[in-house]
Amino acid sequence: MDLLLVCAVAFITASITGITGVAGGLLPAVFLTPIIGIKSVLPVLAIMLLFGSISRAWINRADFHREAFLRIAIPAIPMVVLGGIFYAQLEAKMIALMLGSVVLISIPIRRIAKSHKIKTSPSLLSFVGGVFGFFAGSSTGPGLLLVPFMLGYGLSKASFVATLAVIAAMTHIARAVTFGSIGLIGHDILILGVVAGIATIPGAMLGRLILKRMTNRNHEILVDLMALAGGSNFLWIAFQ
């Protein structure tokens, strides 16, 4: 029964992520935490989300922005490893507190950046990539932090979704290797992550179809609503 629930969560949340381009880790983390426990969430997601990210990247490959990807990926990779090691040292409530804080902080950052219509320089994008990498290794939902900076670099909605999918795939690989090397991914976690990951593939395809019909305004509102709900949920877990 738990496996069926996990697969259902994987399919539905992958569909939503296919629309927004972000919250690929936030949404399943919110719904999987009551099922598998908060300490197992990131190890499972590291495997599961790799499938969804790769399928999303392939489906949107025509819109991939190579330069923006390299600017973010190069500093992000080593920081993912550091963040993963940091995550392994945290207690459950501290993990929930970090997850909720990162997600909620991303909302005003994105709004402020948009209101000032920031133009992202190559060096700023690389710096943000390093910050993103650390939080990608130690929490979920940091893709939301990249939104204003990638859009400020000149990416369209479609290019943002495509490029972030490749960035996400890269960080999931680095995170899975890190968690595996420090003993957080056992046999059960591996199987659960793979099965759930397969369920994300048709979800990503469905999300792409809906994305084509969604306005930019509705896209922004959906991202903020998901961030608010997900971040609040993690803070509730941290303080209960």
- Tell me: the pLDDT tens digits for 90-116? 776 787 787 778 778 777 876 777 676
Query: What is the pLDDT at residue 158?
Result: 80
pLDDT over 70 (residue 138): yes
pLDDT digits (tens, 9 = 90+) for 26-44: 778 878 888 888 778 888 8
Query: What is the pLDDT at residue 194?
Result: 92
What is the DSSP annotation of 73-110?
HHHHHHHHHHHHHHHHT--HHHHHHHHHHHHHHHHHHH
Asked which of 89-103, 151-165, 187-201 is least confident by mean pLDDT, the reply is 89-103
The amino acid that residue 169 corresponds to is A
Query: What is the pLDDT at residue 183?
Result: 84
pLDDT over 60 (residue 153): yes
Split at pLDDT 50, 70, 90, the class of 23 is low
Split at pLDDT 50, 70, 90, the class of 66 is very high
For the chain, how many residues are written? 240
pTM, entire model = 0.71
Mean pLDDT throughout 40-63? 85
Query: How many C-beta atoms surround the C-beta of residue 1 within 10 A?
Result: 6
Percent of the chain having pLDDT more than 70? 91
CA distance 94 to 96: 5
* Cα 165-167-172 angle, rounded to 5 deg: 95
Identify which of 165, 170, 129 has the alpha carbon closest to the alpha carbon of residue 19.
165
* Domain residue extents for the chain: 2-239
